[in-house]
Structure 1
Amino acid sequence: MRVLNYLELADRLDRSGIATSVDHQRRALADTDVEVLTTPWSDGHPAWAAGGKLAFDDPVFRDYDVAHCNMIGPGSVAVARHAERNDIPLVLHAHVTREDFRGSFRGSNLVAPALGQYLKWFYSQADTVLCPSEYTKGVLESYPIDAPIQPVTNGIDTEPLAGFESFREEYRERYDLDGTVVFAVGSVFERKGLTTFCELARATDYDFAWFGTYDDGPHGSESVRKWTSDPPENVTFTGWVDDIRGAYGAGDVFLFPSKVENQGIVVLEAMACGKAVVLSDIPVFREYYEDGHDCLICSDEEEFREALDRLEADPDLRDRLGENAKATARDHGLDRVGERLTEVYEGLR
């Protein structure tokens, strides 16, 4: 079976969670009998190459048995229409929702309602919509989406994290980190709990570090520009890091007070590294993780602060949460992703 696994604008999304999820899909499928194509275009031509208009004729497209698109732009629309015209099963992966688009960059809250209408139309073209969680499935059903929806974990690839411990001293020295380091990983957005992260730093004496890119220019949100330009004294925003293993090596307690997530790959990465994880009380985290077993889940700033102090004072609690977190991460291995994707593809043929 030949499957198109397409990520539109891959070069612009290479540092995103979407790109990580797609990389997980492709690595998982490499261990199956599925032959993966990563571009739909023959000779590298995009679907709108002819006269500046969308083209859906067969010569533009390669041959595949199932089309699986991971983004929502014009290239993915072209693939969807080509699939409909040629009776090719279409899978659309809902990495983007109206809810998680809010709070991403300047003006995103204004655009979100229109995006929701577009996503309702776009995802409804699919034979099957995939999404990372039951929570996201419920969000899509509320639009509503006129297509079957199946949750499939984004998974976790532990291979790129191997040896993270050896980076500890280098990255702590590089960013002047000492003692118990509270850290986050990923692009800096208000949606991911930026203000809570910084307010907690102000209220404690721990070193805080956020490993990830941020936009402090005109496209960045007001809160991102505010906090990154004048952070609390004990907060470091590192920007892009050379090796993500440095982040997980340098940090001790992974703090992720996100307001909205479809799953949160960085949470699974932190768990795979055996870190004590502190999360916000949102539906998707309650779905996948258990408070007091593999993480601590907090509903307000006071609870976050108490959780950090508990973990500082109780090394046994840190170790127990970390060991259980490793087991949780193993439940989201790439073998599971490969099995689920293959089931979906075969069910559509």
Structure 2
Amino acid sequence: MRVYHYLELESALERSGIGTAADHQRLAVERANGDGIHASADVTDDTDDTDVELVTSPCDGRPWQIPARLARRTDPFVAYDVAHCNGIGPGSLALAGHARRTGRPLVLHAHVTREDFAESFRGSTLAAGPLGRYLRWFYSQADLVCCPSEYTKRVLESYPIDAPIETITNGVDLPSLEGFEAFRAPVREHYDLEGMVVFAVGNVFERKGVTTFCRLAQQTEFDFAWFGPYDRGPHASSTVRTWTKNPPENVTFTGWIDDKRGAFAAGDVFCFPTKVENQGISVLEAMACEKAVVLRDIPVFEEFYTDGVDCLKCSTLSEFRDALERLADDPALRRRLGERARETAEEHRLEVVGERLHEVYRRVRAKT
């Protein structure tokens, strides 16, 4: 079976959660197949249905040739059995329209909701309302909408989305984190980090709790480090510009780090005071590295993590502070939480994701 697995603006999304989730899907299918994926437009018609062949090239030719080929009434798209889109922009619209016109099953992966779009970029909160109306229409075109959590499914149902919705974890790529321990000393030395380091990983947004992160630092004596890119240009929110330009003395914003293993090696307690999340891949990565995890107590985390078992959950600034101080005073608790967190992460390994995707592709194809 040939699946056109499409991620719009792939290079621009390389450092985003959406890009990571799409990469996980491709790796997951590869591992479920037991051999390599074929990301090529040069395909034949004798694909074995027992495996899934992913076609990731956007068209038979060059992407910028699509309008001209459509004008000549020449089909620009490669042959495929199922379309699986991970974006919401013009390219995704074009592929969704092609799938609908040609009677091919369409799977749309809902990485974006109006709720998690707010408080990300400058103006994103104002745009969240119109975006929600667009997403309701766009996702409703699908034969199946996939999303990473039951929380996100409930959000989409509230819009409402006129399509069946199923959950598939974004997963965690356990092999990609192997050997992270070797990075600890050099990364800590490079960023001048000492003692119990409180850390976060990912894009720096207000939605992800940068204000809480920095205020926690102001109220404690721990070193804090946020590993991930941030923007101080016109797209950045005023909050992000303020904190990254003038951070508390014990906070380091590292910017993009080439090897994520360095972040998980240097940090000791993963602190993620995010306000809205569809799942949170970085949480699973921290858990895979057996780090103690402190989370904001929000609905999406209820289905995945248990307070006092594989994490600590907090609602207020004082609760976050108390949790950090408790972990600093009790290394055995940090170790115990980390061990259980690793068990949780293994439940989201990519082999599980691959099996689910294979099953989804076979089922939607069988219905058309």
**8 Å CA contact 1:5, 1:67 repeated in 2:** yes
Q: Does 1:137 align with 2:178?
A: no
Distance 1:49 1:154, change over 3 A: same
Pairwise mapping of residues 270-281 of structure 1 onto structure 2 (< 5 A)?
270-281=286-297
Q: CA deviation at 1:50?
A: 1.6
2:337 maps to 1:321: yes
- Where does residue 14 of structure 2 map in the other structure? 14
Q: CA RMSD in A?
A: 1.3
Q: 1:221 aligns with which of 221, 237, 249?
A: 237
- Using the TM superposition, name which of 42-51 and 170-179 deviates more: 42-51
Instruction: Establish whether residue 184 from structure 1 lines up as the match of residue 210 from structure 2.
Output: no
Aligned to 1:286: 302
Q: CA deviation at 1:44?
A: 2.2
Q: Give the corresponding residue for 1:38.
A: 56
Q: What do residues 186-242 of structure 1 show as CA deviations (whole Å, max 9, x unaligned)?
A: 010000000000000000000000000101122110110110111100000001112
Equivalent residue letter for 1:5:
H
The 4+ residue runs of structure 1 with deviation greater than 2 A are 44-49, 54-59
**Structure 1, unaligned runs of 5 or more:** none
- Residue 45 of structure 1 and its aligned partner are, at CA, apart by 3.2
What is the correspondence of 1:233-252 to structure 2 with a 5 Å cutoff?
Answer: 233-252=249-268
Aligned residue for 2:309, secondary structure, equals coil
Q: For 1:241-272, what per-residue CA distance to the aligned partner results, in whole angstroms no more than 9, with x for missing partners?
A: 12111100100000000000000000000000
Query: Secondary structure at 1:192's aligned position in 2?
Result: coil
Counterpart check, 1:61 vs 2:80: no
Q: Give SS of 2:3's match.
A: strand
Tell whether the 8 Å contact from 2:66 to 2:76 is kept in structure 1 after alignment.
no
Is the Cα contact below 8 Å between 1:56 and 1:81 reproduced in 2? no
* Matched-pair contact (CA < 8 Å) for 1:47–1:78: no
Secondary structure of the 1:103 match is coil
The one-letter code of the counterpart of 1:202 is Q
- Closer/same/farther in 2, CA of residues 18 and 314 from structure 1, 3 Å limit: same
Q: CA deviation at 1:159?
A: 1.6
Long gaps (5+) in structure 2:
34-50
Tell me how far apart the structure 1 counterparts of residues 21 and 208 of structure 2 sit (CA, whole Å).
18
Q: TM-score, normalised by structure 2?
A: 0.92
Give 1:39 deviation, angstroms: 2.5
Letter in 1 for 2:201: V
- Of residues 167, 170, 183, the one that matches 1:167 is 183
The alignment status of 1:78 with 2:91, answered yes or no, reads no
State the distance in 1 between where 2:106 and 2:65 align. 17
| TM, length-normalised to structure 1 | 0.97
How far apart in 2 are the matches of 1:266 and 1:232?
Answer: 23
**CA–CA separation in structure 1 for the residues paired with 2:63 and 2:157:** 35
Q: Is the 8 A contact 1:46 1:75 kept in 2?
A: no
Matched, 1:24 2:21: no
Other-structure match for 1:310: 326
**Matched-pair contact (CA < 8 Å) for 1:130–1:151:** yes
Q: Is the partner of 1:210 in helix, strand or coil?
A: strand
User: Following TM superposition, by how much is the alpha carbon of 1:48 offset from its aligned partner in structure 2, in angstroms?
Assistant: 4.5
Aligned length: 347
Identity among equivalent positions (%) equals 66
Residue number among 135, 144, 148 corresponding to 1:128 in the alignment: 144
Aligned to 1:343: 359
Cα offsets for 1:278-321 (capped at 9, x unmatched): 00010111111000000000011111011001101111110110
Q: Describe the superposition over 1:104-133 as per-residue Cα deviations: whole angstroms up to 9, x where unpaired.
A: 011111111010011011000000000000
Q: Which moved more, 1:39-48 or 1:64-73?
A: 39-48
Aligned partners of 1:346 and 1:58: how far apart in 2? 28
Specify the alignment match of 1:253 in structure 2: 269
Contact 1:91-1:126 within 8 A present in 2 as well: yes
